[in-house]
Chains A and B, each alone.
Chain A
């Protein structure tokens, strides 16, 4: 158990809908990362937050947004969902935002868009 929690574990929804994925980092970690794992794209970095501020952005679609709250939990919002958004979404956390920190991953949220 990495100490990173993600809810829900599974999510099934329809095209065009909007969903919110939630992540609680390990105790003491200030940085949160979101990754998407799909069969065709592999593991891709989406976005990073540190202590409430956005720090880095990857291949995140405009339909996706995220935020980190004062209690350090983070939410990833996915809107106007398409079939291709079906994937495993991971949240990870690290102590700081520095690149040498190992990132500890949550169990993931499996999103299925029908």
Chain B
């Protein structure tokens, strides 16, 4: 069975600090997809990024960057120069290929608090 572990329950940083959110996954599949979602205080889940298991290139989008390492089954998310608006719960999720069906297995989330 697949599993996603986000060991950091809560992280507090001061604005402008860099912060890395860890994500470790388990799957027996050779083909799978990893996702990050953001859940701000308003409650909705916002898609941030998707990465497939064959693409180990790091990705950068503005202040956000993602480091995928298949050797350690990790897909970590770094926010550079954090801002108060980054305060949210961040979820890492795994989707395995199962014929024509799909489902996301989520980690327990990391609550990020950015203060002034």
Contact = CB atoms under 8 A, between A and B. Distances in A.
Contacts, number: 70
A97 B98 CA distance: 10
A44 B107 CA distance: 10
Interface residues of B, number: 26
Contacts of B45: 90, 92, 105
Contact of A97 (B44, B50, B101): B101
A108 B100 CA distance: 25
A107 interface: yes
Interface in A81-108: 88, 90, 92, 94, 97-108
Given A99-B97, A100-B52, A56 B43 contact: no
A55 interface: yes
Contact of B33 (A35, A100, A108): A100
Interface string A25-44: 00000010101000000111
B101 A105 contact: no
A31 B50 CA distance: 18
Given A42-B109, A43-B91, A56-B98, A103 B43 contact: no
Interface of A: 2, 31, 33, 35, 42-45, 48, 50, 55-56, 58, 88, 90, 92, 94, 97-108, 110
